[in-house]
Amino acid sequence: MDLAPRRVESASPRIDAVMGEIRRRIAARLLTPGAKLPSVRALAKALTVSTSTVVEAYERLVAEGAIRSRPGSGFYVASQLAPLSLAEIGPKLDRQVDPFWVSRLALEGGQGFAMPGCGWLPPSWMPQEALRKALRTLSRANADVLTDYGTPLGLLPLRQLLARRMAESGLVVRADQILLVDSGTQAIDMICRFLLEPGQAVLVDDPCYFNFHALLRAHRVKVIGVPYTADGPDVALFEQALEEHRPRLYITNSAIHNPTGAVLSPVNAHRLLMLSERAGLTIIEDDIFADFEISKAPRLAAFDALNRVIQIGSFSKALSASARCGYIVTRKEWLDPLVDMKIASNFTGSQMSEALVLEVLKDGSYRRHMEALKARLSKARASLIPTLRQLGIEPWIEPQAGLFLWCRLPLGGDAADLARHALAENMVLAPGNVFSQSDTASSFMRFNVSQCDHPQFADILERAIKLARR
C-alpha cells in the first residue's frame, strides 16, 4: 500500500530530511505544541539547505496538520497533536465463520498471508503496464475529466464500447441502457434497493458467491438456496422453490459460476427463463468473470433480450479492483429510477475510474494480456489438481476456465475448522459453508488456482487437514 518506494519524483530527499528533522524535534518535545518554529532563513542556514527547500518542507508539514502557519508571523507547532494511530486491525482469528469471514480476511490479511481462499488474482497477474500507461494518458486529459462529476449514466464512450462488446456475445443493447456504477456489488445492491421489499424471498445458487448472502442480509429478505449442478441450478428444485416461496428475484452467474466454475447449459437457460416468465421472476445475471471465458457460454440476458433479466458486471477481476467501476444493463424503463437511486445514494460514479477503464479496454494490449492470462490460469489449474489429489482433495468438476476449483475434502473434519487451523499458519482458505445457504458444504473448499503457489501451500494444508480431523 505504501507509495513511498515509487515516490522518488514527487518529493526531494532534502525536503524529506527537513520534514524529518522537524518531526523529530516535535516528537522529542524539543518543540512543544504551540511553539514557534525556527525561521525559514535560520533553519536553512542550520541545515545547509536552500530556503525554498525549508519553505516547501514547512508547507507539507502544514498540509499534514503537524504545524500551522500564521501569516506574517511564521510557523508554529500544531496546538493539538493527533494521538499516534494503532496498527491496522489484523485478521480476526476468533470471528465466526460467516459470509464476511473470507472477505475480511482476504482484504485485511495483507502481504504476510497465503491467499488460496481469496476471490481475485495476485497483483502480478493483473495488466499493470496497461494501467500505468492509462494513468499517464489520464494525467494529460482535459480538466473536467480530472475534476468534475461524471454524468448520471457514466462516461458515454465507455458505455458505447461495452455495448459493442455485449453485441459480440449476442446481447444487443444501446449505450443508454447501460448504467455505470462503482462495482458489481453496488450494481446488485442498487437493483435490490429498487426491486425488493424486506421479507420478500430471493433465490440464490447453493453454493453461490458468499457476498450475495451478506448483501441480501442487509436487505432483510428471505434467502432461498437452489442446489447448483454441473450445468446450472437444479431446474426441478428451482421450479419447486418458485411455487413454495414466490420469490421476487434470482441472483446467479451464468458463465464460470462462483464458486464451482460450472457453466449454465443452453437447455437449462431456456428452462429457467420459461419458469421465470410464468412466475414473474426477475433475474440478476452477474457476468463478472466474462473476460475469463475460453468458449462463450450462453447468457440469460441474451436469450431473454433483457426482458426480465438484468445483467451486471465489473472490471475488478480482470482489469483492476483498485479503480472501482461496474455496470448495470437493463430495459430502458428501469434505468431512470436506477439513476435516481444512484444520485440519492452516491451522487455519481468516478469519472476518472471510468476513463481509466476505457483507456485500458480500447488498448489492444488488454486482449493480448487476457489471452496470456487464460493460458496461465489453465496451466496453474492443471498443476494444482494433482497436488490437491495427493492430499485426498477432489475437484467437484474440472472447470475449463476461471479462477476457482470447488473441491471435496477427504472424509472427516469440517472445512471451517480446517480453515481456522490454516489461518493459524497465515493461510486464508474459503470453507464451503460460507458459500452455502443451507450449510450443506462443510466438506467443500474453494481454491483460487492463481493463489496456491505458496511454497508451504501443501504442507500447511496437510497439517490443517490432520488437525481438523482430530
* φ and ψ of 456, to 5 deg: -90, 0
Q: Find out whether 200 and 221 touch, Cβ atoms under 8 Å.
A: yes
Nearest-5° Cα angle at 186, 152 to 95: 155
Q: Find out whether 312 and 329 touch, Cβ atoms under 8 Å.
A: yes
Q: Does 35 bind its own copies (CB under 8 A)?
A: no
Q: Does 142 bind its own copies (CB under 8 A)?
A: yes
Nearest-5° Cα angle at 320, 317 to 324: 100
Q: How far is the CB of 329 from its own copies (least distance, A)?
A: 12
Q: Does 466 bind its own copies (CB under 8 A)?
A: no
Q: Does 305 bind its own copies (CB under 8 A)?
A: no
Q: Could you write out the three-class secondary structure of 315-368?
A: CCCCCCCCCCCEEEECCHHHHHHHHHHHHHHHCCCCHHHHHHHHHHHCCHHHHH
Q: Find out whether 231 and 268 touch, Cβ atoms under 8 Å.
A: yes
Q: Which amino acid is at 330?
A: T
Q: How far is the CB of 143 from its own copies (least distance, A)?
A: 4
Between CA 162 and CA 360 the distance in angstroms is 13
Residues from 166 through 195 that contact its own copies (CB under 8 A): 166-168, 170, 172-176, 182-183, 185-186, 189, 193
Q: Does 32 bind its own copies (CB under 8 A)?
A: no
Residues from 214 through 273 that contact its own copies (CB under 8 A): 214-215, 217-218
Query: Near its own copies by CB under 8 A, which window of 86-94, 221-229, 432-440, 451-459?
Result: 86-94
Residues from 92 through 121 that contact its own copies (CB under 8 A): 100, 103-104, 107-108, 110, 120-121
Q: How far is the CB of 435 from its own copies (least distance, A)?
A: 16
Q: Does 345 bind its own copies (CB under 8 A)?
A: yes
Of the candidates 181, 91, 197, 62, the residue with the CA atom closest to the CA atom of residue 423: 91
Q: Does 349 bind its own copies (CB under 8 A)?
A: yes
Residue choice 155, 328, 373, 393 for contact with its own copies (CB under 8 A) = 155
Binding residues for its own copies, total number by CB under 8 A: 126
Stretch 47-66: interaction string toward its own copies, x if CB under 8 A: ---------x-xxx-xxxxx
Q: How far is the CB of 279 from its own copies (least distance, A)?
A: 27
* φ and ψ of 205, to 5 deg: -75, 150
Residue choice 35, 145, 237, 467 for contact with its own copies (CB under 8 A) = 145
Residue environment code for 320-348, b if the CB has 16+ CB neighbours within 10 A, otherwise e: bbebbbbbbbbeeebbeebbebbeeeeeb
Q: How far is the CB of 145 from its own copies (least distance, A)?
A: 6
Q: How far is the CB of 361 from its own copies (least distance, A)?
A: 6
Between CA 231 and CA 324 the distance in angstroms is 31
Between CA 191 and CA 284 the distance in angstroms is 8
Residues from 387 through 406 that contact its own copies (CB under 8 A): none
Stretch 2-31: interaction string toward its own copies, x if CB under 8 A: xx-xxxxxx---------------------
Residues from 357 through 386 that contact its own copies (CB under 8 A): 358-359, 361-368
Residue choice 31, 40, 54, 131 for contact with its own copies (CB under 8 A) = 131
